[in-house]
Homo-oligomer: A and B are copies of this chain.
Amino acid sequence: MSISFADPATLNHDQLEEGTSFAPRFDAAGLVTVVTVEAGSKDVLMLAHMNAEALALTLETGIAHYWSRSRAKMWKKGETSGETQQVVELRTDCDQDAIVLVVNQTGRGAACHTGRKTCFYRRAAVHDGVATLEDTGLPRLFDPKQVYASKA
């Protein structure tokens, strides 16, 4: 990891929120939350996490890298499925504990492991006081059984 970040503990409130130092406020697990948005369509593709190494690798290579919490390892998005993400822009928020990553989604254009373009393919509805989900109808752009089984 050759790219370095500032330490948020060295910044005051105004420097953190209005300054030019990139000082990501990693949480107790060493992670920031990342919202990945498709350039052009502006669709929210997925929500994931980065540690300092993943953030540095993403900036260095221009290819999205996350920290997989479920597998507890570095995750070059698309390494198995081929659906890599080319970074267009990386933004942080006022208190620097969140990232918006604007990307070009390569491959078949499916960011979600279910084969859909985005992970957010269901909307909430309320019927008689019970919250339910409705499919928004996004097609599967690949068959997850085939894509993941063949490389398992």
Q: Which residues does A use to contact B, with CB under 8 Å?
A: 2-6, 17-22, 33, 35, 37, 41-44, 46-47, 56, 59-60, 89-94, 98, 100, 112-114, 119-124, 126, 129-136
**What is the total number of copies of this protein in its complex?**
2
* Top 3 A-B pairs, shortest CB-CB distance: A42-B42, A93-B119, A22-B131
Interface centre among A123, A126, A133 (most CB of B within 10 A): A133
Q: Say whether B94 contacts A113, CB under 8 Å.
A: yes
* In the complex, residue of chain B having the shortest beta-carbon distance to the beta carbon of A18: B114
Q: Say whether B4 contacts A124, CB under 8 Å.
A: no
Instruction: Give the residues in chain B near A2, CB-CB below 8 Å.
Output: 129
Q: Say whether A17 contacts B92, CB under 8 Å.
A: no
Q: Say whether B59 contacts A19, CB under 8 Å.
A: no
